[in-house]
Amino acid sequence: MAPRKQQEIFAATLRLVAEKGYDGLTVEGVAERSGVNKTTIYRWWPSKAALLGAALIESDVLGFDPPDTGSLRGDLVALVEHLARLLTVPPASDVAVTALGAAVRHPELDARRFFADRFAREREIFERAVRRGELKPSADPMLIVDLLAGAVWVRSVFRGLPLTDDFTTAAVSAVLHGVVRDEAG
C-alpha cells in the first residue's frame, strides 16, 4: 500500500476513534472516510483493533522523534513537553486519551505495543546520557519515563488540572534530584 494512502487510513481511523470512541470505530467508517474499500483495509489489518494499533504507532498524527538537546535534563524536559502536548492539544489529545483509555477495557488493542514502541524510541535519550556521564548505567530508564509520564497523565487527564509553565521543569527536577532535603545540608 502506498505510504500516503496508508497515512490517510490511519488519519481517518484516529479521527473516528476521537469522535466516536473505540466502540464507535468501525472498519466501514474508516473505509468511507479514507475513500478505500473495506476489503483493502482488511487485507492489511485483520480487525479494527489491529488497525487502531498500527495507526497509534505509525500515524504521522502521533509522530514522535526523541529529543536531542545535548543534556539529559533538556531531553527530559522536551520529552515531558511533548507528552503534555500529546495529552492536552487536539487533535492528538482526543486520539491519545480516547484510544489509550479504551485499551484498559479492550485488551485486544494491546496498548503494550504502543508503549513498547515509544519506549524503544525514548531509550536513545538514556543511552546518550550514560555515554555523556550524566546518568548511572544502573539507572532504570523505564522507571524514569513512567514517573514523568505518570505525572503528566495524572495531572492533565485524571485530575483535569492545567500544566503550568513550571510543571515540566519541576517534574524533571523531582525525578532527577528527588524532593527531600539533603541530609548534610
133 and 108 within one domain: yes
80 and 143 within one domain: yes
State residue 3's pLDDT score.
Answer: 86
Name the residue with higher pLDDT: 76 or 164. Answer: 76
Of 60, 81, 98, the position where a domain reaches its end is 60
Give the predicted TM-score (pTM) of the model.
0.84
The answer as to whether 55 is a domain residue is yes
Angle between helices 3-24 and 27-34 (to 10 degrees): 140
Separation between Cα atoms, residue 147 and residue 152, nearest integer Å: 9
State residue 96's pLDDT score.
Answer: 84
Q: What pLDDT digit, counting tens, does each position of 76-115 carry?
A: 999 999 999 988 988 888 888 888 778 777 887 877 788 8
State residue 144's pLDDT score.
Answer: 97
State residue 147's pLDDT score.
Answer: 97
Q: What is the CATH number of the domain that holds 122?
A: 1.10.357.10
The number of folded domains in the chain is 2
68 and 151 within one domain: yes
Q: Which amino acid is at 133?
A: G
Q: Round the average pLDDT of the chain to a whole number and report it.
A: 91
- Biggest CA pair distance of the chain: 68
Separation between Cα atoms, residue 105 and residue 179, nearest integer Å: 35
The answer as to whether 184 is a domain residue is no
What is the domain range of residue 19? 3-60
Q: What pLDDT digit, counting tens, does each position of 7-57 carry?
A: 999 999 999 999 999 999 999 999 999 999 999 999 999 999 999 989 988
Whether 143 has a pLDDT exceeding 80, the answer reads yes
Angle at 50 between CA 49 and CA 56, to 5 degrees: 90
18 and 89 within one domain: no
